[in-house]
């Protein structure tokens, strides 16, 4: 799905950049161009960044507790 129509940035691209460590909208804009034109995509882009990092930031279970 296209998130930024002005610059042709897809949801997949945003997720990939977030997985690579992008955490902020300014950084996302610099890496992909998302939001650089009209900015109407920025709320959706922020939601995707937040979603990716919420999953990545989950604590890993302690292995000693699993035994």
CATH number of 38's domain: 1.10.10.1100
Mean pLDDT, rounded, for 38-57: 92
Residue 10 lies in a domain: yes
Residue 65 has pLDDT above 60, yes or no: no
| Beta-carbon contacts of residue 28 (< 8 Å; ≥ 6 apart) | 14, 17, 18, 22, 34, 35, 45, 49
Residue 25 lies in a domain: yes
pLDDT bin (cut points 50, 70, 90) of residue 57 is low
- Per the structure, how many domains does the chain have? 1
Residue 26 lies in a domain: yes
Instruction: Evaluate whether 45 touches 35 at the Cβ level (below 8 Å).
Output: yes
Residue 2 has pLDDT above 80, yes or no: yes
Residue 59 has pLDDT above 70, yes or no: no
- Domain span at 1: 1-45
């Amino acid at each position: 799905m296209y998130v930024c129509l002005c610059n042709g940035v897809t949801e997949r691209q945003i997720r990939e950049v977030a997985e690579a460590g992008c955490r902020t909208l300014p950084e996302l804009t610099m890496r992909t161009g998302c939001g650089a034109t009209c900015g109407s995509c920025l709320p959706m882009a922020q939601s995707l960044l937040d979603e990716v990092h919420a999953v990545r930031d989950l604590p890993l279970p302690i292995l000693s507790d699993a035994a």
